[in-house]
Every structure is written in structure tokens, then in C-alpha cells.
A and B are shown apart, each in its own frame.
Chain A
Amino acid sequence: MAVAFDEMNGPGGEIRPAYQELSRWLKETPAEALEYRRQEAELLFRRIGITFAVYGDAEAQERLIPFDVIPRIMAAKEWAILEKGLKQRVRALNMFLRDIYHGRDILRANIIPDDLIFQNPVFRPEMNGQHVPHDVYVHIAGIDIVRIDPEEFYVLEDNARTPSGVSYMLENREIMMRLFPDLFARHRVAPVEKYPDELLSALRSVAPLSASSEPTVALMTPGVYNSAYYEHSFLADKLGIELVEGRDLIVKNDEVFMRTTEGLKRVDVIYRRVDDDFLDPLTFRPDSALGVPGLMSAYAAGNVTLANAVGTGIADDKAVYSYMPEVVKFYLGEEPILKNVPTWRCREPKDLAYVLDNLSELVVKEVHGSGGYGMLIGPAATKATIEAFRDKLKREPEGFIAQPTLALSTCPTCVESGLAPRHVDLRPFVLTGSNHVTIVPGGLTRVALKEGSLVVNSSQGGGTKDTWILDE
């Protein structure tokens, strides 16, 4: 694998422009001072209770995501390109979903094979012909971006269901401002604090017609044992909306109400962080205790807006992902600004053969996987793991895609021996309301803390960094 592109240090040892000031500051700051701040940051995270749960890990029911105090910096020019590309991508995702659940032009144009949609478990026939306000399906998107050189941004994954991580973007910034006021004074960092306001106005803008002029928005969580519960409560607090669980809601005459101390109160928009499968036991999984019986019929009646809409999983399916450049061109008639990582669809025999021949070079992912679970990283895997994947692939080829192992860009990161380059990715959050798409300048930078590791997921030992977009 080639040497990765480092975002601070150029190949000849020169410091790239965006990192000039940080580099000077790092030289002035003794290592102990950094270590001290790192500990202080950890203490703050713990006291605030910014934790997440790792499933299947009884030992550590609530864990901290390691936070790296060295910011990841991007120049305004770079961000401008990225922002444009993200808006374009999310517009296309929404148009794609509208089309899949209505006219299906893209299937008739033979751009995507029918069976990839109709045989896909995340395709929701309940959504066929269902109107959603302003044709917005993905109100909140988290698009995972990686860099492998100074020029191009690649989309690694689209997250169009219930993307998480935005609370870390906001809290990381708060903590950095508390711990490093001096470093902030020496940079002009674009603020991210408007995110909650933007989110609330996007949610309110898609309220159903039958809502009052002051629509009631609520955030629906699976509950305190969910891995992202902290984020749910954090956002509800910042938005000033109720944090509801399924048992707080009740459907009557196709309207959704929450049980309050003053009786029932109608809910118009639900920012739900509960997966499709668990939303309504009458429509989806009958064993779901997290959902609300009848929610889907209120949704079908147009009396409540769900954000994101039901059935958006079809847009972030990893096999559908491989068609995204064509999807962008088809709906917008534009060249995609963001690149797609070349992807082999194991469902196609020719691709499968190639993947099986080159397993030790490739990254293989489950098409419905997330969180870094169930993934093969060929160059880092043992022979036995590779062989196990080979069997899985042969048994169920349509369940997988493969990509080349990318040398993700690196950023300087605090490790035991001092500062060292570590691989990073970036998840910006894209909001879509009734007539606008917005992105706060920044996102969640995830960093693989183990030397050489390419897996940035928090469930797999990844950490986070504050992401700075410099103003001109």
C-alpha cells in the first residue's frame, strides 16, 4: 500500500497552509501540557456523560469514545468543494427515493436492475405511492467522506437512515474551546453551533398540512439502553423538543399523540432514531416493544411526518451505492462532484470472480452492514478469516460488495509516543428541509487510533477529533 496522504505534512516535509499555525503552536506547547489537556478532556466527557454503549460488551455498558485533542483542519476552499458535492449528492438521494417509491423512471431507464430494489429487504413496499411532505425523504444525511490525495474527495458510504455522531461534532467543539482558547484565538474557525437551529427549522418545515402553524416536533428514541442514547437526549435538549419513547406515544384516529401530565398532545413531526423495523409492531416486526402500534397508518394518512422517511435504507444500501455516479447524472444532469470508491458488486458473477481472486487486497463489506461490523480488510486479515469470508461470499454473493483498500489520509494524532499520523475519515451532516439543503461547516472526524488501522468506527476502537473549517 502506498504511503498515505498526510493532511498536515507534505511529501517534502513542508507544512500545508491550513496547518501552519497549528504546527507552530504544537512546537511551542510542551508534550506534558498536551497530555494534561487530554486527561482534562476525558474527565469532561465522563462528567457530562457523553458515552456510548457497545453491543455485546457487558463489561463496559457505557464507554467513552476516545477524543483526540489535535484538531483536523480544512481550508475554506476545500470545504467549498465538499459542500457543493454533498448538497448535490443529497439532492440526488432524495430524488432517487421519490422515484423508487413512485414512477421508477430509473428502473425503466435500466440504470439500476429491478431485483436489486425489489428483492432488497430494506425496500419498503408500504411506501409505494406514499406522499411525503415536500418530497423530502432524507432530512438528515451523514455522508462518510475520505481523502486519498489533496485533490479528490471520495464518498465511502451514504447514511440515509438514522445517522449518528452529530453530538460529538458539537461537544468536541465545546470542549476544544474550553481547553484551547489560545489556539482558537490564533485561527478563524467557522462555527458549528447553529446545527440544532437548522435541524429544528428543517424538521418544522416538513410538518404535515394538518398540523397547526406551530407544529409539535418530538425526538423518538429506543431508550436509555440504545448505544446513541446520549446523542438523542443531547439533541432533544438543544432543540427544545420532547424526547419520547414508543410507550409515550399513542395513535388515535390516525393521529399521533404523546401522553403528557396535561393529557394527550398531538405530535406532528417525529425525528425518529428508531429503525424502520421497530417503528410499528402492526406493520413491521410484531415483537417490537420500542414502537407505536398504528404509527404507520397515521403516517399513511399524512398526519405525521417521520424524519427520516420510512424506506430510506434503499438509498444507502452498499450495492445501490455503487450506482450513485449514474444516479446523480440521471436526476440532476450534472457530473458528480464527489467521487465514488470503485466497487465490485459480488452479485454480478464477473465481479465476484475478481473479488474471490483478490480477497487479500480488498475490503469486503456487507451491503446492509454498519458500524464496522462484519467487514473484511484483506491486507490486515489472517488466512483463516479470508477463507471464512470466501465461504460466505460463495454462499450469499448478493450480500456483499468489495472495494480496493484505500490509503485513507492521515492527520497528526496524540498517541503514547507523542504525535503520529493516524488514518481519518469525515462525516458531515446534511440537512434537507422544505426548500433548502444546509450543512454546517464541519462534521465528525473519526480517527483509527491503532497504528496502521483503517477502521475508524467507535465500536472498533476508533476515536474522534474536532474538525475545523478555516474561514478565509
Chain B
Amino acid sequence: MLSRTAENLYWLARYVERAEYLARTIEATLRVTALPNTYIGKTNEWDSALLTAGVSASFYEIYEEADEQNVVEFLSFSPANPSSIKNCIENARLNSRSVRTALTSEMWDNINSAWIDLQEVWGKGTKTREELAKFLRFVQETSLRFDGSAYRTMLRNDAYWFSRLGLHLERADNTARILDVKYHVLLPEEEHVGGPLDYYQWTSILRSVSALTAYHWVYRETLKPWLIADLLILNDSLPRSLASCYGNLVRNLDQIGVAYGRQGAAQRHARGVRNRLEHSHMDDIFQRGVHEFIQEFILDNGRLGEIITKQYLI
């Protein structure tokens, strides 16, 4: 397939995944900030929402301080934020339009309808919390429908595999970012386990990667920070864990390698990262430093993106 087509498919999936992640982040932050102060302490949750979205710097170019109103606006609709939800959906639609021939009509219909709604229903932003809640649902449903229609209707060929690469790379990046910002509340040495402060921080983390219910099913335990870290980093049965994302990245890259009859740096690099995840234990990670581990992962993940681009997309 055309390199440009593969590139568009890859980015299309990334934008949709990012939009969903932003919507989840806003939703989780709204929940935690609605709690009385005694439960969440003095941390500015809106500030950490900006950090997990990776747009802190561009935000503070415009605003002095982060509060609900300006962060929601910035993450959802702001034209000044290149990765606002609105821009993500617009970019997704632009990418779709360039590769319509590689999309199924269901996928196109879904993105195009979301784009039309974005202008007709959400053109003026949201005025109330109810409207905001509806908007965040709309974004998540768009992503679910997009993902579902891709899964159910696309031929299993390189078009599908490249689109999955974008999805899993973006997903891994998002999970890693939230860990990067929140790792301190997961450290076991801060032994006030079960305190209300941490408890709500933990649920907030799990919610933003839609893993709260999953946690209980997997561990059948009350929330423990090291188990949360284990779930998000090493447990490959959780779709948003780093291990699961890398399992998928390796699989999709392998399929491309088989179809094209040759492997390259992308396959090798992805396998390297996957192997490290497979052979790690939470104890070691805590001992060596969660923060260092996550930062290294974010760099590795970014590098994989560059290698894929060089190998296939240009």
C-alpha cells in the first residue's frame, strides 16, 4: 500500500485514541475534584490533568493558573491546543478523507458523523456540567464505535495492521503518561495505605484507563498501589496496560513482516521492549525506581514511533 495511506491510517487511529483518553482524563478529574478537600488534599488536579495530557507548556503560555473551566476548554475545544479533543477529531476526519479508499464505509460514516456533530451539536462548546458530561460520552462512544467498526469490518491486511499500530502506540503512551505523573502516589514506601487521599487518587488513575472494575476482577483485593502499578504496567490481560499494548504491537508488526516477507528495526525494537516487560517484576521495578522505568519506557515508545515512520510511512 502507499506509504502515505499507511501513515494516514496510523495517525487516524492515534488521534481517535488520544481523543478518548483526553475525555477519560477530564471525566476522572471532574470526579476527583468534586470530592471535599479532605479527600483529595491540596494538589491541583487540573494541573496534573494537563501534565498527563502532555500539554502543560502550551497551556501556561495562555493561562496563569489551571482551573476546571480553562483546562476543560483547553483540553476539549481550544484551537490553541493542537491536541485538543476537537482538533483530534478534525485531524482524524482529515486523515480519513485522505484515505477513504482504505477505510470501510462504516469507519468513514462514524468519523464523518462525529465530525458533523462536533460542528452542529458541539460547535459552541459546553455550557453546563451536564452538557460536558454528554460531550465526554460522545467522544468515548465515537472512539468505541470507530474501534469496533475497524475490528468488525476491515480486511485483515496491512491497512488494518498499520491502524492497530497507531492505536496501541498511542495507548501505551497515554498509560505511561498517567503513570509518569502519578507514580508518587503508587510508591509502596509511602505506607499510609488505604488513606482516603490516596484511595481517590488511585481510583482516579484506574478510571482514566477504564480499569477500575478490571482491578477487582483481577486481584480480588482492596486497592493496593503496587497492584495498580502491576495492572497498568505488567498485566497483559488489561487492554490498556503497557504489556498488552506491546503484545499487540509485536503481533501487528510481525504480521506486516510476514506479509511483506521481511522484518526490520521496528520488529526488533518492539520485541525488545516487549521482552523487557515480560521479564520484569514489580518488586524490581520499584527497587530500580518506577519513575525511571516509566521515563525510559516513554522514550522507547517514542523511538518505536520514529522507527515505524522511517521503515514504512515515508
Contacts and interface: CB of A to CB of B under 8 A. Distances in A.
Contact of A261 (B1, B100, B113): B1
B109 interface: yes
B113 A243 contact: no
Interface in A230-286: 233-234, 236-237, 242-245, 247-248, 258-262
A121 interface: no
B6 A47 contact: no
A258 B108 contact: no
B3 to A, nearest CB: 5
A49 interface: yes
Interface residues of A, number: 22
B94 interface: yes
Interface residues of B, number: 24
B97 A245 contact: no
B108 A49 contact: yes
Interface string A409-432: 000000000000000000000000
Contacts of B4: 245, 247-248, 259
Contacts of B80: none
Contacts of A259: 2-4, 314
A260 B97 contact: no
A46 interface: yes
B158 to A, nearest CB: 6
B109 A244 contact: no
A47 B2 contact: no
A237 B97 CA distance: 12
Interface in B233-252: none
A404 B4 CA distance: 49
Nearest to B116: A46
Interface string B1-25: 1111110000000000000000000
A31 interface: no
Given A47-B112, A224-B94, A247-B4, A261 B101 contact: no
Contact of A47 (B97, B113, B312): B113
A249 to B, nearest CB: 10
A229 B313 CA distance: 22
B112 A237 contact: no
Contacts of B116: 46-47
Contacts of A223: 98
Contacts of A258: 2
B260 interface: yes
Contacts of B108: 48-49
Q: Which of B4, B5, B116, B313 neighbours the largest number of chain A CB atoms within 10 Å of its CB?
A: B4
Contact of A248 (B3, B109, B112): B3
Contacts of A47: 109, 112-113, 116
A260 B2 contact: yes
B114 to A, nearest CB: 11
Nearest to B100: A233
Interface string B279-314: 000000000000000000000000000000000111
Contacts of B6: 261
B312 A229 contact: no
B74 interface: no
Contact of A244 (B2, B105, B313): B2
B94 A261 contact: no
A260 B101 contact: no
Given A47-B109, A47-B112, A248-B2, A261 B312 contact: yes
A46 B116 CA distance: 9
9 contacts: A46-B116, A47-B109, A47-B116, A48-B109, A224-B98, A236-B101, A237-B101, A260-B1, A260-B3
